[in-house]
């Protein structure tokens, strides 16, 4: 019987390679109402069972994972998943790392700290990218075209019209949200040349 009276307990387990064993994680999870597992490395958008788990979870459910590194490869990815689940009203519990559980105030506080660290990480990456681009432009070696073609933009519009969050669409296309917004708005690299 599930200890979560308002919803299901959902388990998620992952190992990075096909020859690794999921048994320890499955033992740690114990009985769950629904289990999602995969033997796959890669970024979040490349893991189908992770997406299925997030899509499956409903308000009142609780997702159990052995440790944060089984759910995400970086603090930025982890926070994105936490936010997605939280927006759906789904709790997240880490068996080996209860300090990050979204089920209590301390976990929420720790996640806020992690969020600040991730934001600093993002800002540092952006700063380095900007410096690299500036140097490349000075050498005349920087001329990136648009990352999305017309077909991808049309597909993105269709999915958004169907209610798929823009963050999910951007992730699935392998671009940042700002790139997706620019493509949808026809600004920046996606601006159509004037016909006059």
CA–CA distance, 111 with 162 (Å, rounded to integer): 31
Q: Find tokens 């075209």 and name the residue.
A: 145
End-to-end Cα spacing for the chain: 69
Based on the residue annotation, tell me whether 176 is a catalytic residue of this protein: no
Count of helices and strands (H, E) across the chain: 8, 4
Structure tokens at 34: 């629904």
CA–CA distance, 19 with 44 (Å, rounded to integer): 20
CA–CA distance, 133 with 127 (Å, rounded to integer): 10
Structure tokens at 136: 């490349």
Active-site option among 2, 16, 41, 108: 16
CA–CA distance, 130 with 153 (Å, rounded to integer): 25
CA neighbours closer than 13 Å in the CB half-sphere of residue 103: 15
CA neighbours closer than 13 Å in the CB half-sphere of residue 91: 20
CA–CA distance, 40 with 68 (Å, rounded to integer): 16
Which sequence positions are flagged as catalytic? 16
């Amino acid at each position: 019987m599930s200890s979560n009276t308002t919803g299901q307990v959902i388990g998620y387990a992952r190992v990075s390679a096909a020859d690794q064993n999921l048994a320890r994680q499955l033992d740690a999870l114990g009985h769950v109402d629904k289990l999602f597992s995969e033997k796959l490395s890669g970024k979040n958008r490349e893991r189908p069972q992770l997406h299925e788990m997030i899509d499956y979870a409903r308000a009142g459910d609780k997702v159990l994972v052995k440790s944060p590194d089984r759910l995400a490869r970086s603090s930025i990815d982890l926070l994105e998943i936490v936010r997605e689940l939280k927006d759906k009203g789904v709790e997240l519990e880490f068996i080996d790392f209860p300090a990050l559980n979204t089920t209590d105030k301390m976990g929420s506080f720790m996640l806020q700290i992690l969020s600040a660290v991730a934001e600093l990480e993002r800002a540092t990456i952006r700063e380095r990218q900007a410096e690299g681009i500036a140097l490349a432009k000075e050498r005349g070696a920087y001329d990136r075209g648009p990352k999305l073609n017309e077909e991808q933009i049309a597909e993105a519009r269709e999915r958004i019209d169907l209610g798929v969050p823009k963050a999910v669409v951007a992730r699935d296309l392998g671009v940042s949200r700002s790139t997706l917004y620019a493509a949808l708005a026809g600004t920046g690299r996606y601006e159509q040349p004037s016909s006059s």
